Structure 1
Amino acid sequence: MSENSSLPPISRRTALKLLGVGAVGSVAGYSRFAKPQPTIHQQETLDLPRHLSKGKKVVVVGGGLAGLASAYELSQRGFQVTLLEKSPQLGGKIASWKINVGEDEFMMEHGFHGFFPQYYNLKSLVEELSIKNNFQSLDYYSLVFKDPETYLPEVFRPTNTAFPWNIVDLAISSPNRLRWGINLTNFKHLEVFHAITGFKIPRTFKNYDAITVAEWVNEDFPKGLYDLYFLPFAKSSLNAPDTLSAGELLQFFHFYFFGNPEGLAFNGTVDDMGTSLVQPIADAIRANGGKILTDVSVGKIHCENGQVRSLSYQQGDEQTDIPFWVKENTLIEDDSLAYYGAGDTMYAVDEATDEGISLTCTHQGCTVGRQPDGSFVCPCHGARYDKNGKRLSGPAQRDLATFEVEAKKADEVKLIAKNPSSDLETATLEADYFVIAADVPGTRHLFTRMTGEIDPEATRRVETLAVSDPFAVGRFWFDRDFDWEHSWFTSLSGYALTDSITLYHRIQTQFKEWAAKTGGSVIELHAYCYKEKEFPTQADLLATFENELYEIVPELKGATVIHRQLVNQKNFSGYPPNSYGDRPTTQSEIPNLMYAGDWVKMPFPCGLMERATSSGLLAANQIIQKEGLSRRPILSVNPEGVFKI
């Protein structure tokens, strides 16, 4: 029980009565002493060969976790794999890249990532690669509320109990248990209880996919249950309650809690994600003959006779002559320029000349903001550029990239580099199979590069894919440390922007060593799905993060900020109402084209990194099966809830 709790302890029997779940305590497979086992979603019953007897080529587009998992499995089976990644580094949302803080060099990431024990398919890769030592237990994690008068801090510790005992244990330990507000004599509350404990595909989506979480909880929903668990964990899906399908939230909760037989454990990486996970997978792909190319822009995907036949690309500097579409951003007010894009991929266009510049600072990737005199300044480190993007001062060494408008739509423009590089490498790849493992914006872009006989249904379904509200990460280096009574990673609730805090100088090796040397601290704040109209610029994000950090850690007031690093993007998969039915599966309408990514419709409950990994392995299995090989076993939590109603 939390040290802050003023409530008396309760027995397990009392907790069962309080929650109205005593009747399910004896459900087969769900006793405290007979923990349910993982479900085998996909395993061969036939004795089939594991390796190809003849060469087959596969091109995987996208080097995030989904693409890496797919390329890894296919390369293990004897396929000739070529993996293409647009960014300079592999990993997608778990990528790492070098930054400089004074004379020190660090690996920066897109934010802290937690690993849960029911990530069965991701864990299987970790075990095969013999990199379990790259991960460490964080022992427990906390949920802290801005107003302690409303709710006391919740503490989630590792357990080995599954539903209903995990709820019982949570009730026993929770200092807020009498504030949950559950009354199972209330029909609406009973309906909620049945929904969250009776998850089943596709029934749950049929019943709940048409409404948002906000709409669902607006009708006599237990307030404490929502405030304490549903709201924080809904946002951790990187989708806001007013845009997230209630069916998807129920899937999320089933995977992480009600259908999870592993309990509430929590791991983090010893080093950055690139070092701890991405690089070992990439090394294994190369060791099996796979080829990995980064800084790649796909120019054309050619379809013929119902198949994808070839893919052309350019490799090198981002300034290619391949055009791309970008949506208008109406949230930034400017009488002189029009803005396009979001997060750290934004462009400013002079509509009088149809010329534009990238607003991505060439120093360390923050988004520059326009000043009253027409110049542009980076809010992170002070680099300054003139109105045409020419570097004036600060740490940046290159000008902003320049573009021309090639075409326009109502709310989009097609941009092309004004001065594309002349030393780009170009090539065309022919293959037997193709896997698109890009994020949603990247997948949409790839479909604009398709030529020939394009399947209209595949195009339509990709165009319906949604992107969630943007997320932001602010990481701060301070010249002093501070006392902290909660977990090194702590979820937060009640702040305008901040959803979590991570004390990197207590977790990862590079920051622990720096803190020991300097006496400083490294703190990261994360906003999972903020509203752009409330924080339209990176300057707004940084200022709010810093102000809220001083509320969260008052001891840092007066400390010197040595360095600020901001990452904000708008590329996480969205799961809005009525999107489940049309969501693509791993097998596209084109027989030799597979999809992988957390946006793919999954046949079993999963989320976040496990969803990306599982989709990549399922895509690989589709190809493996077509070649008559034995598919990789795919595991999941129990796919259905206890109550089959």
Structure 2
Amino acid sequence: MKRRQFVTNVGLAALAGTTLGAAGLYAIQPRRSVLPFASADNDTLPLEPTEPTRVVVVGGGLAGMAATYELLKRGFDVTLVERSSNLGGRLTGWNVDVNGETMATEHGFHGFFNQYYNLNGLLAELGLRDNFKPVVDYPVIFRDPDKGTESFTNTTTLFPFNLLAVVGQAKSVSLLDFNNPTGKLYELMRYDPVRTFQDYDDVDFKTFCQRVNQPMVDTIIEPFAHTSFNQFDQYSTAEGIKFFHFFFLGNPDGMGYDQTIDDAMTSVITPMTQKLVELGGRVITGVEADRLVERNGRITGLVLKRPGDVLGKDHEVPAADIGSDWTAFWNGADLYYARREDDGSYRALSGRCTHMGCPVGLDAATGGFACPCHGAKYDPEGVPTAGPTVVPLVALEASAAADRVRLTSRPQPSDIELQADYFILACDVPGLKDIVSRSELSSTELVQGVEDLGVADPYIVWRIWFDRAIEPLAVPFYTTSGYRYTDSIAIYSQMQPAYEDWARRHQGSVIELHAYAVEPENVIDEAEIRRIMREELDELIPALKGANMVYDIYTMQQNFPRWAPGDYAGRPGVQTPVDNLFLAGDYLRLEVPANLMEAATMTGRMAANRVLVAEGLRENPIPTVDLVGPLTI
């Protein structure tokens, strides 16, 4: 920063402090808050039900695990159903064979921010906080050489000096950028759960940012907003304002965060799963929820099926279209593969991965199948050979009649139906939409609200093992700005002990690249995406230029929630019109400021509270950041 600009910044900061005064400063400070209870005498209510009460939770991510835990410790009979072989959702992991060595991998790097009060509280209650270590900085690498690398380490959490500190650390932003009376920058500091959505939910964030000083947009707003996994021109301004309020302007804890010491399964998911079982919970994995059963206005059961199975849907295809190699066929959202055997008969498989239901593609290298989402691979017979699943692709009946072949689901011995008093759907958006679409629910409001939910553009996670060591970087994680694909990089060979050991023994390094939201025009051939991202990595870490990849895991997924303009009004919340059915997940309508893993955990605890309220029991306190922005009057 130039000396004259620095002097100007210091002078304005001093003036701001003097003008506001101590009393004024105290009044506008963001504070940790607690959501109100449904009952004014909550503290006097009993803790546990007097009669056995059953709850079924669908979805084993943070939302489902949090809801399950809160209800188990209150004495409820809880069954948790997860279609994957492990719990964890986007935080889950699995083992891979790296040239003869077993190593743990996961869906991508996760930061556990200080203001994740519900998630961090849950981890502390389970005795898992020792499995984390703090990250000392939050740097952003800009492709623009004039900006270089900006550091956003906090020096204070006192508003507005926390914001002034960020501006002071940014080489290309000045306090003079705040001097824009006709602009919209200050709206980021005026979050209000009612007014903000009334005024700005229909406005896309790109349009809003045109009324904000460009240096602020380029240096601070845009790099951080990308971590919402939504494109600027498809992102609700109200959701964007809530995002910045939660992560910086409305919380008293700044931008500090922790990372897991080991992989997420070792540090978080496995011990959490063990605790749920110790408390008496039934954890059913490798089984998928098919549909809810409603009788007399209440949900009475949940029908289960094998992961990837298709129940009750027949599909006919011309026999001439089926050759001796696997051929893909779609029937609505259902994907099938069929081939003609040497004896003239036909064989068919469901094209849904048995890990989390993604559509699998043909693997040209092996003649089998590969899942683009989490790296699962299957041989030509549909038997898993790599990745997180251990369940084969589901076989279908293929019967020929005249010139047509009918593909049908093989009859199962019986439909398994779980019965309970309450049900919590805590799956991701695609999973929720599938279950509701197959259920005959009387609430058109709920059905329409779920149908209108969407997912954001795809995101990429690419972990690469290199044959070349690099000097340790200042921190193991960097956000980036200005690159076509790469939005962040994580250096696993200086992050987790197992990867540090691998790098030391092989004189190598392990890097993970992330693309948070890939625009439709950039969803091109995988080989070309890899080539471009590798060029971007060589630019970001020149020491790796020319290094050979000895192993890699490349995945493209599409399951983060869409926060599009106008979505808010129809978005479902935790409470549904069906009195014994609740939802949990980071995609729900929340007047409370929370995002990502904290939103998932918070809504899981909120759903558990709704069950407690329905039973006349004491609610658990739900902590949150300040409910309104520091400049809200």
Q: Alignment partner for residue 88 of structure 1, among 60, 85, 88? A: 85
Which amino acid in the other structure matches residue 438 of structure 1? C
Preserved CA contact (<8 Å) 1:188 1:221: no
Q: 1:139 to 1:587 in 2, by over 3 A?
A: same
Q: Which residue of 2 aligns with 1:555?
A: 543
CA contact (8 A) 2:230 2:517 kept: yes
Which residue is 1:67 aligned to?
A: 64
Partner of residue 643, structure 1: 631
Structure 2 Cα separation of the partners of residues 299 and 359 of structure 1: 14
TM-score of the superposition, structure 1-length normalised? 0.84
The Cα of 1:99 is off from its aligned counterpart by 1.2
Equivalent of 2:177 in 141, 158, 182: 182
How far apart, in 2, do the equivalents of 1:627 and 1:510 lie? 47
Paired amino acid for 2:300: R
* Residue aligning to 1:162: 158
Structure 1 position 296 matched with structure 2 position 287: yes
Q: Is the 8 A contact 1:63 1:438 kept in 2?
A: yes
Aligned residue for 1:628, secondary structure, equals coil
Counterpart residue number, 2:324: none
| Structure 1 gap ranges (5+) | 326-335, 407-415
- Out of 616, 630, 633, the position equivalent to 2:618 is 630
**Equivalent residue letter for 2:204:** T
Label 1:393 to 1:284 Cα distance change in 2 as closer, same or farther (>3 A).
closer
Structure-2 change in CA distance of 1:10 and 1:613 (3 Å): farther
Counterpart in the other structure of 2:167: 171
1:516 is aligned to 2:513: no
Structure 2 match to 1:53: 50
Which residue does the alignment assign to 1:409? none
Shift of 1:97: 1.2
C-alpha separation in 2, matches of 1:295 and 1:361 = 8
Q: Aligned match of 1:117 in 94, 114, 119? A: 114
**Contact 1:214/1:242 (CA < 8 Å) preserved in 2?**
yes
Conserved? CA contact 1:7–1:175, under 8 Å: no
1:610 aligns with 2:598: yes
Equivalent pair of 1:359/1:369 in contact (CA under 8 Å): no
Give the whole-Å Cα distance in 2 for the aligned partners of 1:117 and 1:367.
38
Match of 2:224 in 1: 233
How far did 1:536 drift?
3.3
User: Which deviates further from its counterpart, 9-18 or 563-572?
Assistant: 9-18
- Where does residue 146 of structure 1 map in the other structure? 143
Equivalent residue number for residue 306 of structure 1: 297
Query: Does 2:212 match 1:221?
Result: yes
Q: Which amino acid letter does the alignment assign opposite residue 159 of structure 2?
A: F
Cα distance in 2, alignment partners of residues 616 and 454 from structure 1: 24
Q: Which structure shows the bigger proportion of residues in helix conformation?
A: 2
Of the three residues 422, 428, 431, the one matched with 1:433 is: 422
1:270 is the counterpart of 2:266: no
Do 2:397 and 2:409's aligned partners in 1 also have CA atoms closer than 8 Å?
no
User: 2:166 aligns to what SS in structure 1?
Assistant: helix
Shift of 1:28: 4.4
Note the C-alpha offset of 1:420. 5.2
In 2, are the aligned partners of 1:51 and 1:629 still within 8 Å (CA)?
yes
Partner of 1:329: none
Q: What are the residue-to-residue correspondences of 1:474-513 with 2, within 5 Å?
A: 474-513=462-501
Equivalent-residue separation in structure 1 for 2:259 and 2:214 (angstroms)? 31
CA deviation map 1:323-347 (0-9, x unaligned): 599xxxxxxxxxx9777999xx987
Counterpart secondary structure, 2:537: helix
Tell me the alpha carbon deviations over residues 590-636 of structure 1, each in whole angstroms, 9 at most, x when there is no partner.
00000000011113101110000000000000001111111110111
Matches within 5 A, 1:580-599: 580-599=568-587
Aligned-pair CA distance for 1:385: 9.3
Deviation at residue 280 of structure 1 after TM alignment:
2.3
Residue 236 of structure 2: which of 238, 245, 248 is its match?
245
Counterpart for residue 351 of structure 2: 358
Q: 1:42 aligned to 36, 47, 55, which one?
A: 36
- Residue 328 of structure 1 corresponds to none
CA shift in 2, pair 1:35/1:133, >3 Å: farther
Cα distance between partner residues in 1 of 2:100 and 2:430: 36
| Structure 2 residue aligned with 1:201 | 193
Q: 1:236 to 1:274 in 2, by over 3 A?
A: same
C-alpha contact (below 8 Å) 1:488/1:502 kept by paired residues: yes
**Cα drift, residue 377 of structure 1:** 8.2
For residues 332 and 7 of structure 2, what CA distance do their matches in structure 1 show?
Answer: 53
Q: 1:77 to 1:10 in 2, by over 3 A?
A: farther
Distance (whole Å) between structure 2 residues aligned to residue 324 and residue 519 of structure 1: 54
Cα RMSD after superposing both structures: 3.7
How many residues end up aligned between the 2 structures?
602
Q: d(CA) in 1 for partners of 2:464 and 2:564?
A: 33
2:202 pairs with 1:210: yes
Q: Give aligned-pair identity as a percent.
A: 32
Counterpart residue identity of residue 553, structure 2: Q
Q: Secondary structure at the match of 2:34?
A: strand
Unaligned ranges ≥5, structure 2? 316-326, 340-345, 400-405
Show the 5 A alignment for 1:311-460.
311-315=302-306, 318-319=308-309, 321=311, 358=351, 368=361, 426-451=415-440, 454-460=442-448
Higher mean C-alpha deviation, range 257-266 or range 484-493: 484-493
- Rounded Cα–Cα distance in structure 1 between residues aligned with 2:76 and 2:129: 27
* Matching residue of 1:412: none
| Structure 2 Cα separation of the partners of residues 355 and 586 of structure 1 | 40
Q: Secondary structure at the match of 2:478?
A: strand
- Aligned equivalent of 2:403: none
Q: Secondary structure at the match of 1:187?
A: coil
The letter for the 2-side match of 1:432 is D
Could you tell me whether the CA contact under 8 Å between 1:478 and 1:521 is conserved in 2? yes
Is 1:574 the counterpart of 2:553? The answer is: no
Give a deviation string over 1:451-510, Cα, whole Å, max 9, x none. Answer: 3x5211110111111211111100000112112544210000111100000001111122
Distance 1:104 1:483 in 2: 24
CA contact (8 A) 1:391 1:398 kept: no
Please state how far the C-alpha of 1:434 moved relative to its aligned partner.
0.2
In structure 2, the CA distance between the partners of 1:312 and 1:519, relative to structure 1 (3 Å rule), is: same
Q: Does 1:285 align with 2:276?
A: yes
Q: Distance in 2 between matches of 1:426 and 1:226?
A: 54
Deviations 1:369-426 (A, max 9, x none): 676x99678699999999xx558999899997676999xxxxxxxxx9867597x885
How far does residue 108 in structure 1 lie from its aligned partner after superposition?
A: 1.5
Q: Could you say if the C-alpha distance between residues 201 and 177 of structure 1 is closer, same or farther in structure 2, counting changes exceeding 3 Å?
A: same
Q: Describe the SS at the equivalent of 1:274.
A: helix
